[in-house]
């Protein structure tokens, strides 16, 4: 079992726990090194660092950036970023502003099928009004009885092809990778199996990402089956990517993996932290 978790969310984006409660939970569950990787925002890192210092665990400054690539949404995690690097903070703000318009579009789509008040309803589930996402709509729809849990509400309403889906343009891949790398961080492709890319398209993505300066891919994540972890471990080895791991924890009862519950890497992976100075 790994005591490193490099992907999770707080109330700053679509998690259910504040940065402090998230760090406390991680510490209690044996995590020694934690990256907070909120969607498109770094506003939780200061609070998380205070909590991490109090718990004597290492906090890695992280973020998960929403990217559009060839018409698909791809998530790029940044690790050891500088959260004050202006191109990064400005880029993230632009993405968050776009989310507000997209939320309106989602609400308009839901209205067409008779679901009223979803924008205000979703905002009630948002931490600080800075960032709104589909998960907030999902929690509103569950609360209103449209589905029994967040997972099924996504399937029924919020994914591509379903009535509450609104297409959206996120950041460009090259921008996201350069904001991360130029701020001193490492760029990681989050949960690569989730995108269901065919072999050639996946190959293109991995090559383009590597050419732009990306260095790692997530091998261990709640989104991957053991077979997918093995598959992406092989991709990492073949293409000299480092391997990352993270629970993608969003909250108790909503996530498949809890913090501090990650299986080891398949043999032969080089961890993304191989050259970090960590106190284990």
Q: List residues binding ligand AMP (CB under 6 A).
A: 14, 39, 66, 133-135, 150-151, 154, 159, 250
Residue nearest to Mn ion (CB): 75
Among residues 154 and 179, whose Cβ is nearest to ligand AMP? 154
- Written as six digits, the tokens of 245 are 């791991």
Among residues 4 and 150, whose Cβ is nearest to ligand AMP? 150
Among residues 25 and 39, whose Cβ is nearest to ligand AMP? 39
- H-type alpha helices, 10-128: 19-28, 45-55, 86-112, 118-123
Among residues 10 and 58, whose Cβ is nearest to Mn ion? 10
Q: Do 185 and 80 meet the contact criterion of CB atoms below 8 Å apart? A: yes
**Shortest distance, position 211 Cβ to ligand AMP, whole Å:** 25
**Shortest distance, position 114 Cβ to Mn ion, whole Å:** 27
Strand 216-221 to 171-172 pairing: unpaired
Q: Exactly one of 5, 11, 14, 183 binds Mn ion (CB under 5 A); which one? A: 14
Instruction: Give SS3 for 9.
Output: coil
| CA–CA dist 51, 21 (Å, integer) | 8
**Shortest distance, position 66 Cβ to Mn ion, whole Å:** 8
Q: Do 6 and 272 meet the contact criterion of CB atoms below 8 Å apart? A: yes
Among residues 8 and 242, whose Cβ is nearest to Mn ion? 8
Site for Mn ion in 43-82 (CB under 5 A): 64, 75
DSSP 223-249: T--HHHHHHHHHHHHHTT-EEEEE--B
154 binds, among Mn ion, ligand AMP, none (CB under 5 to 8 A by kind): ligand AMP
**Exposure pattern of 173-183 as b/e (b: 16+ CB <10 Å)?**
bebbbbbbbeb
Question: Which chain residues interact with Mn ion by CB under 5 A?
Answer: 14, 64, 75, 190, 248
């Amino acid at each position: 079992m790994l005591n490193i978790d490099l992907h999770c969310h707080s109330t700053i984006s679509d998690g259910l726990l504040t940065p402090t409660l998230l760090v406390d939970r991680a510490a209690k569950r044996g995590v020694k090194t934690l990256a907070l990787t909120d969607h498109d925002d770094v506003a939780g890192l200061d609070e998380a660092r205070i909590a991490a210092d109090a718990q004597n665990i290492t906090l890695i400054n992280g973020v998960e950036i929403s990217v559009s690539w060839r018409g698909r949404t791809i998530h790029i995690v940044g690790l050891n970023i500088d959260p004050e690097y202006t191109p990064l903070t400005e880029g993230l703000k632009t993405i968050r502003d776009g989310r507000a318009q997209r939320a309106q579009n989602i609400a308009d789509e839901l209205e067409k099928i008779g679901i009223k008040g979803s924008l205000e309803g979703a905002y009630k589930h948002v931490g600080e009004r800075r960032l709104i996402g589909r998960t907030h709509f999902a929690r509103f729809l569950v609360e209103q009885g449209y589905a029994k849990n967040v997972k099924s509400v996504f399937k029924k309403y919020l994914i591509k092809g379903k009535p509450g889906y609104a297409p959206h343009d996120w950041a460009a891949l090259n921008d996201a990778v350069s904001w991360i790398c130029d701020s001193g961080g490492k760029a990681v492709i989050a949960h690569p199996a989730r995108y269901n890319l065919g072999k050639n398209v996946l190959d293109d993505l991995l090559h383009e990402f590597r050419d732009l300066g990306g260095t790692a891919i997530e091998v261990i994540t709640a989104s991957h089956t053991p077979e997918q972890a093995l598959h992406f471990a092989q991709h990492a080895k073949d293409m000299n990517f480092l391997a990352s791991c993270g629970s993608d924890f969003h909250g108790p009862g909503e996530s498949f993996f809890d913090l501090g519950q990650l299986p080891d890497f398949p043999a032969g992976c080089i961890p993304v932290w191989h050259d970090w100075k960590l106190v284990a």
